[in-house]
Amino acid sequence: MALEDAKSQVDQAFTRDASRGSSFENAFGGATSFLRRRYTKDLTDFDLAVTGVPFDQAVTNRTGTRLGPRAIREASTLQPYDPPYGWGFDPLAEFAVADYGDLAFDYAKVADFPEALTQHIRGILAQGAASIALGGDHYISFPILKAYAEKFGPMSLIHFDAHSDTWVDDDMERIDHGTMFYKAIKLGLIDPATSVQVGIRTINLDGDMGMNIIDAPEVHETGNKAVAAKIREIVGARPAYLSFDIDCLDPAFAPGTGTPVWGGLSSAQAAAILRGIAGVNLQGGDIVEVSPAFDTTGATAIAGAHVAMEILSLWAWTRRG
């Protein structure tokens, strides 16, 4: 069946009729949507929308994450043939997932970007779907969290990163990918007591804002199962949002990013921890800071595509029929 489908399926980003199920379109051909899902802005009868946010004007070092959504979509074409390994169910068969396309914004009016993104996510949530955002730099989490907090109240943040991104910055008009979680806590978008940061391996002289931190050495020393159990204990049953900065992974596994730091997690560690937190009350998430120009192998975008699938699977886990 799969071979026969491969002979006939093409451009399923536009031509597929079913909102559920696998895709057997050749990975190397056709129009690229995330996991070969249909491009649509009408989320009637869809459960979840994946959207690109090609914004990288808040970075402190290397740019290029504006090309991340495109690269992640392309890398994801290797994945929709089979259910994701290790989960024991097929989220693409059980849930209707759309590719909502990218956020449209005026790159020359940077100050208008945050509200444009918040409104974009509001539009997804208002249609009854959850969102997974493909970044873009990490600042995008801040406008997204505004929309989520409006609907769910203060979120429990599950944050994978090399950096805490809680540097003090009381100017809410500044657009900076290292200060947005400080702002989110100050504005009540995040509940730090039930939030957790994983993989941190840089010093923040401004402090942790009350966040629970599982740094990279602790991950290496205590192991994946212990880390996953600690995350589940911290977050509990509260509505959660998962933000995964690809630089949480060691540069050996994800060199294509703007602020790489050695000593990070391996892809295998990240996969095990993400699967180990199944059951958290996940409402949405993002994968950010994939900068494909700095990785000629494409490994960083591949990792980003797998993280997005893991977020999708985590979201689906608690909603299976």
The predicted model gives 13-30 an average pLDDT of 93
pLDDT score, position 22: 94
What total number of domains does the chain contain?
Answer: 1
Q: Is 163 annotated as a binding residue?
A: yes
Say what the alpha-carbon torsion angle 66, 78, 267, 140 is, to the nearest 10 degrees: 20
Confidence of residue 120 (pLDDT cuts 50, 70, 90): very high
Q: What pLDDT sits at residue 5?
A: 73
Q: What is the pLDDT of residue 230?
A: 98
Residue-wise pLDDT tens digits, 188-228: 999 999 999 999 999 999 989 999 999 999 999 999 999 99
The separation between the first and the last C-alpha atoms of the chain, rounded to the nearest angstrom, is: 26
Q: In this predicted model, what pLDDT tens digit does every residue of 125-172 receive, in sequence order?
A: 999 999 999 999 999 999 999 999 999 999 999 999 999 999 999 999
- What's the rounded Cα separation, in Å, for the pair 149 and 156? 10
The residue with tokens 């205590």 is 222
pLDDT value of residue 321: 75
> For position 284, what pLDDT does the model report?
98
Q: How far is CA 248 from the centre of its chain?
A: 12
Residue 6 has pLDDT above 80, yes or no: no
Would the pLDDT of 1 be above 60?
Answer: no
The annotation status of 42 as a binding-site residue, yes or no, is: no
Q: Contact, 84 vs 97, CB < 8 A?
A: no
Does 138 appear as a known binding residue? yes
Amino acid type, 185: I
Question: What's the domain range around 7?
Answer: 2-317
7 pLDDT more than 90:
no
Q: What is the pLDDT of residue 207?
A: 87
Is 245 assigned a ligand-binding role in the annotation?
yes
Q: Could you tell me the pTM of the whole model? A: 0.97
Closest residue by Cα to residue 230 from 208, 249, 248, 215: 215
Looking at residue 3, its pLDDT comes to 59
Please, what sign has the CA dihedral across residues 216, 218, 219, 221? positive
Q: Strands, E, within the chain: which ranges?
A: 48-53, 97-102, 130-135, 156-160, 196-200, 212-215, 240-245, 282-288
The domain spanning residue 170 has which CATH number?
A: 3.40.800.10
Q: Name the band, by pLDDT with cuts 50, 70 and 90, for residue 258.
A: very high
Is the pLDDT at 111 greater than 90, yes or no? yes
Mean pLDDT across 239-244: 99
Mean pLDDT rounded to a whole number for the chain = 96
The answer to whether the annotation marks 247 as part of a ligand binding site is yes
**Is the pLDDT assigned to residue 73 strictly greater than 80?**
yes
Mean pLDDT on 292-301: 97
